[in-house]
């Protein structure tokens, strides 16, 4: 099997909720929540064996209702939270038991900060997209930068110090863009998933935290490597689409990076198909070397 070949896992029910197990940094693990109207829903704990390209699963029942969103605790591997449709509620769960539940209300989106026990809006991007805004993600390595996506088929990158217009716009999808995710280690890598059934991996190097490539100390490289580095630095920087993944046959509602391996990511379509892919090896070495 080729090293870059995708690995596909099929769920029994429809699904749209996906998250890596953030607190797990040794094993490649994702959590997937299902959306069934007729049967008890499930949380699939997906472990991926990268050496053998094998998926192992553990399935937990989620009898509270359809799972619309799932999130894993960044501090405790045994804690996760779900948003589900029964009475518009969300719950925090520990393995085998529920900790507490709180009501979910709908409201307009904005960026907030906590001040004196209340939330204060610090800025608002008016008319960020021509239609609904579906998702946003902050750049984990570059302050003030975030990405947004929406029903206008666009992905936009913003500098929050000046939100009059985006710094970059991607228009590669042909239908609603539901998800956008920065790579936490190499933030030039950006994933998007769309109702056009495609996952697109883009290289937004010009607005990343490493616009000149991966920097190393002079003491760590030989003269020959130094010469190659100089040649490489003369190459023009380009933002481009790295790869388009078309293993899905239904709307892709979720994409996310592994918390244990920065070169591996998962995508989930509504028909319950989970696909695990890798960043192309050539690009990986280009970034590292």
> For residue 273, is pLDDT > 70?
yes
Residue, of 94 and 151, whose pLDDT is higher: 151
The structure tokens listed for 251 are 């709307």
Q: Rounding to the nearest 10 degrees, give the CA dihedral for residues 253, 254, 255, 258.
A: -160
- pLDDT one-digit tens code per residue, 63-111: 888 999 999 999 998 889 999 876 555 666 665 555 444 444 333 334 4
pLDDT of residue 101: 47
3-state secondary structure of 26: coil
pLDDT of residue 57: 95
Share of the chain above pLDDT 90, in %: 65
**Alpha-carbon distance 87 to 89, whole Å?**
6
pLDDT of residue 108: 32
Q: How many CB atoms lie within 10 A of CB 78?
A: 12
pLDDT of residue 238: 82
> For residue 162, is pLDDT > 60?
yes
Mean pLDDT of the chain: 85
Do the beta carbons of residue 276 and residue 48 sit within 8 Å?
yes
pLDDT of residue 214: 54
- pLDDT one-digit tens code per residue, 99-129: 444 444 333 334 445 455 566 778 889 899 9
Q: Which of 136-150, 179-193, 201-215 has the lowest mean pLDDT?
A: 201-215
Residues sharing a CB contact under 8 Å with residue 195, sequence separation 6 or more, in sequence order? 175, 176, 178, 251, 252
pLDDT of residue 86: 63
Distance of CA 65 to the CA centre of its chain: 24
pTM, full prediction: 0.83
Do the beta carbons of residue 281 and residue 289 sit within 8 Å?
no
pLDDT of residue 237: 56
Phi/psi of residue 228, each to 5°?
Answer: -65, -35
DSSP 78-132: TEEEEEETGGGEEEEEETTEEEEEEE-------EEEEETTEEEEEE--TT-SSS-
**Alpha-carbon distance 90 to 99, whole Å?**
11
**Nearest to 68, CA basis, from 44, 36, 39:** 36
Do the beta carbons of residue 149 and residue 157 sit within 8 Å?
no
- pLDDT one-digit tens code per residue, 198-229: 999 999 999 999 876 654 444 444 555 554 54
- pLDDT one-digit tens code per residue, 32-44: 999 998 999 999 9
CA distances from 117 to 41, 90, 120, 228, 284 (A): 36, 22, 10, 54, 44
pLDDT of residue 212: 63
pLDDT of residue 117: 55
């Amino acid at each position: 099997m080729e090293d870059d070949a995708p690995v596909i896992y099929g769920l029994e029910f429809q699904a749209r909720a996906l998250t890596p197990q953030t607190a797990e940094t040794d094993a490649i693990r994702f959590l997937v929540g299902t959306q069934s109207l007729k049967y008890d829903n499930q949380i699939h704990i997906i472990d991926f064996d990268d050496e053998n390209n094998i998926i192992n699963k553990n399935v937990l029942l989620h009898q509270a209702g359809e799972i619309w969103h799932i999130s894993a605790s960044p501090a405790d591997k045994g804690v996760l939270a779900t948003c589900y449709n029964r009475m518009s509620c969300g719950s925090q769960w520990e393995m085998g038991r529920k900790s507490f539940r709180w009501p979910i209300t709908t409201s307009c989106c904005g960026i907030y900060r906590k001040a004196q026990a209340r939330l204060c809006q610090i800025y608002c991007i008016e008319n960020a997209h021509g239609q609904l805004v579906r998702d946003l993600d902050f750049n984990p390595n570059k302050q003030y930068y975030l990405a947004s996506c929406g029903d206008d088929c666009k992905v936009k990158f913003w500098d929050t110090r000046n939100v009059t217009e985006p710094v970059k716009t991607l228009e590669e999808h042909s239908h609603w863009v539901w998800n956008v995710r920065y790579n936490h280690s190499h933030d030039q890598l950006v994933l998007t998933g769309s109702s056009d059934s495609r996952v697109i991996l883009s290289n937004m190097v010009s607005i990343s935290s490493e616009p000149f490539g991966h920097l190393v100390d002079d003491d760590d490289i030989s003269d020959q490597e130094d010469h190659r580095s100089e040649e490489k630095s003369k190459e023009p920087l380009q933002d481009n689409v790295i790869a388009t993944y078309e293993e899905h046959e239904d709307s892709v509602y979720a994409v996310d990076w592994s918390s244990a391996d920065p070169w591996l990511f998962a995508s989930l379509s509504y028909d319950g198909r989970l696909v695990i892919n890798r960043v192309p090896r050539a690009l990986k070495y280009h970034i590292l070397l």
